[in-house]
Structure 1
Amino acid sequence: SSFCLLLGSKPLLGLSRLLNGPRDWDGDSFSFYFLAGKTQGSKTAGPSKKKRNTSQKKFREREEKAAEHKAKSFGEKSPAASGAAISASSSAETPAGDLATEPESLFALDVLRQRLHEKIQEARGQGSAKELSPAALQKRQRRKQERDRKKRKRKELRAKEKARKAEEAAEAQEPVEPSPEGAGREPREMPRLIFNKVEVSEDQPASKAQRRKEKRQRVKGNLTPLTGRNYRQLLERLQTRQSQLDELRGQSEEKAQELEAKMKWTNLLYKAEGVKIRDDERLLQEALKRKEKRRAQRQRRWEKRTASVVEKMQQRQDRRRQNLRRKKAARAERRLLKARKKGRILPQDLERAGLA
């Protein structure tokens, strides 16, 4: 199919621009009409009205996009220069008879391009200061002053921080002059406080032999302290020590007194460290009696509880057996009652009547 493009009174200009692509001209100042028809050799009809409208709409959109792209690329040029360039390019393409109507379309394109350029500048915030209102100018001035104030404040803070660090470094490098009173003493090192830090030892856990060795090293004078709540064992150890002292006293009184003094001194050292020493035989015996008494009481309470539990279990078993027997008798009675209703004569009835 073939088509005829009518561009007002300029069909050749419209056809050349359509074939050569979009140019710097306003599509709204011209009217395009696509008239489809049959050729001599074609048998099919042209495109429908809906398709023609769609093609016209797409063509207008392409022309608008081309105009915007051209306006952005030549936004810095003056309208007069752009108009001159457009007129020169269009005059080269158009025939001589169309020069009368071309400036009108160029003037409309220049106006639209200038308006688009102004809107782009306003959107970028680069509009001229003369067009801004006094309130906008005042607001811009306040923002600038606030930025300057914050900048000055940051500079002051950095200067103060730098001066403080310099003072600390100078104080750390100053030598400490010893006073006349403590001239012979060594300078005491100031304690350093460390916050929010926990020291974690990377050593492996001690073995059983190592722990035993450390425990022996903690023992003073090869004398294990009498500590703990195992009163029977403590009493036996205390009695063993007394028997050793008695045997040694029979051999040599001086050695016995020396050993006894050593024991007392060692116990005093343990007590000074905060270890509770249980070396009183009378108190140990009383504590052992109290412990045995409490154990006996707990034993009696446990036995009593066990007996009560067994008794309650037996009572529940007896009650269960009674309930089972009662239910069994009730079922037998219901069966006998049903048999009597059916007219059967039971042995129990004969015995009651004395006929058995």
Structure 2
Amino acid sequence: MASLLAKDAYLQSLARKICSRPSPEPHKRKSGKTQGSEAAGPPKKKRKRAQKKSRERGQKAVEPQAQALGGKPRAASQARKPAAAKEEKTSGPVVSADGLAAESDSVFALEVLRQRLHEKIRTAQGQGGTNELSPAALEKRQRRKQERDRKKRKRKELRAKEKAAKAGGAAEAAEPPPEGPGKEAQRQPGLLFNKVEVSEEQPASKAQRRKEKRQKLKGNLTPLTGKNYRQLLERLQARQSRLEELREQDAGKARELESKMQWTTVLYKAEGVKVRDDEHLLQAALRRKEKRRAQRQRRWEKRTAHVVEKMQRRQDQRRQNLRKKKAAKAERRMEKARRKGRVLPGDLERAGLA
């Protein structure tokens, strides 16, 4: 309210200043008339009549605009007419028609602004001016208020639900259900970011790993697996020699041990282990491996010899190029000396004078 009253006071003071300010005098145009011609009476009367007609036209133009907006601006303009006439009389110089038109426009604009300001003041005092609103506008305003209340209640319910869900999740995290060791072993964590899960079990020692490996063996018999054919062949020959020795001592024990070894081999093969227990195949694989090794050795030796030979050729070529360069340099120096008139020992030998 204080700001609106301040605006109203400011607009009224501005209107008083504009109304009291004299309009700018028109520029006097130079003419070739003499002082005697200016002193003549009839031209002055014509000028006064023209000013009066222009003033009347300006007032007639202002009146319809004030009637369109309401009766208040018209009454205000009529009330200000005597004051404006007095100011014009006291101002002294004659006012042109353009100055009157500008003054009337400014007064009209100020009246419009003042009317809008009073309407805003009345609206603020009456909390929206419900008396002037139509029933449709009042109904629309009521519907909007109800919709705002409904949305507010809905947001409040959603916040209450979220708070209850967070409280329940915190309680569940604080008291996790006990799980058995079997479930923990079966559970496999997926891909975790910024989190490293470390098991509580310590890494197994070398002796423990050896013990576990022995427990996995079936019948205390290590399967013949791998690609070290020489070692596999030696182990197979050792088994056969042990069987032969046992057969010479006790044939029954030898047969029992042989059947046990065969069953163990069958069990390993059933699990998917590739057992290499054929002596002929092992010997053939060993021969192939030795042959490939010999071939690689020969290729390596050949490549080494080729590299050494290439390096030697390049060294020989370099030495030869250096000798040629040195000889060419010496020949250029001798040729330069001959051009200067010097006689060299080689020249005497060529001429047969030495």
> Scaled by the length of structure 1, what TM-score is found?
0.50
Q: How big is the shift at 1:128?
A: 2.4
Residues 1-356 of structure 1 mapped to structure 2, 5 A cutoff: 128=128, 148=150, 196=190, 201-356=199-354
**Matched-pair contact (CA < 8 Å) for 2:221–2:261:** yes
Q: 1:344 to 1:269 in 2, by over 3 A?
A: same
Gaps of 5+ in 2: 15-113, 166-182
Gaps of 5+ in 1: 1-23, 32-110, 163-188
Distance in 2, Cα, partners of 1:295 & 1:250:
40
Q: How big is the shift at 1:144?
A: 7.0
Q: How big is the shift at 1:145?
A: 5.1
3-state secondary structure, aligned to 1:340: helix
Distance in 2, Cα, partners of 1:312 & 1:143:
99
Amino acid at match of 1:128: G
> Scaled by the length of structure 2, what TM-score is found?
0.51
- Higher RCO (CA-CA < 8 Å; seq separation 6+): 2
Amino acid at match of 1:354: G
Matched pairs, number? 218
**Matched-pair contact (CA < 8 Å) for 2:229–2:282:** yes
Q: How big is the shift at 1:154?
A: 11
Amino acid at match of 1:308: H
Distance in 2, Cα, partners of 1:271 & 1:147:
78
Q: How big is the shift at 1:326?
A: 0.5
Q: How big is the shift at 1:197?
A: 6.8
Q: 1:214 to 1:338 in 2, by over 3 A?
A: same
Distance in 2, Cα, partners of 1:235 & 1:294:
18
Residue range with higher mean Cα deviation, 323-332 or 126-135: 126-135
**Matched-pair contact (CA < 8 Å) for 2:224–2:232:** yes
Distance in 2, Cα, partners of 1:216 & 1:241:
19
Q: How big is the shift at 1:201?
A: 2.9
Distance in 2, Cα, partners of 1:227 & 1:143:
86
3-state secondary structure, aligned to 1:203: coil
Distance in 1, Cα, partners of 2:325 & 2:353:
30
Q: How big is the shift at 1:202?
A: 2.8
Q: How big is the shift at 1:205?
A: 1.4
Distance in 2, Cα, partners of 1:215 & 1:326:
74
Question: Which structure would you say has the larger Rg?
Answer: 2
Q: How big is the shift at 1:345?
A: 0.8
Which ranges of 4 or more aligned residues in structure 1 deviate by more than 4 Å? 24-31, 114-121, 129-135, 137-156, 192-195, 197-200
3-state secondary structure, aligned to 2:202: coil
Distance in 1, Cα, partners of 2:335 & 2:224:
84
Query: Superposition RMSD on alpha carbons, in Å?
Result: 4.7
